Amino acid sequence: MKKIFIALLGISVLSLPIRVSAAQKVPLLIYHSIAEYSGTGSKELYVTPKNFEKQIVYLRDHGFTLLTFEQWNESVTVKKPIFITFDDGYKNNLNVFTVFQKLQTREFKPKGTIFVISDFIGRPNRLTSEDIKRITDSGLMSIQSHTSTHPDLTKSDKLTYELKDSQEKIEKITGKKVIAIAYPYGNTNKRVVTETKKSYLYGLTTTPGPYTPSGIKNELYLLPRTYIKYSTTIDEFAKIVEGE
Ligand SMILES: [Zn+2]
Segment 93-139, tens digit of pLDDT = 999 999 999 999 999 999 999 999 999 999 999 999 999 999 999 99
pLDDT at 9 over 60: no
pTM higher than 0.85, yes or no?
A: yes
The confidence score (pLDDT) of residue 81 equals 97
Cα 57 to middle of ligand 1, angstroms: 26
Cα 154 to middle of ligand 1, angstroms: 14
Cα 231 to middle of ligand 1, angstroms: 19
Cα 88 to middle of ligand 1, angstroms: 5
From residue 187, give the alpha-carbon distance in Å to each of 46, 143, 193, 222: 21, 20, 10, 10
Among the listed ranges 19-33, 48-62, 79-93, 146-160, which one has the minimum average pLDDT value?
19-33
Query: Which stretches within the chain are classed as H helix?
Result: 2-14, 49-61, 94-103, 129-137, 159, 166-174, 190-196, 234-242
Cα 118 to middle of ligand 1, angstroms: 12
Task: Average the pLDDT over 48-64 and give the result.
Answer: 98
CA dist 181 and 17 (Å) reads: 34
Cα 202 to middle of ligand 1, angstroms: 16
The confidence score (pLDDT) of residue 19 equals 45
pLDDT-based confidence at residue 38 (cuts at 50, 70, 90): confident
Cα 15 to middle of ligand 1, angstroms: 47
Which of 161, 199, 158, 162 is CA-nearest to residue 178? 199
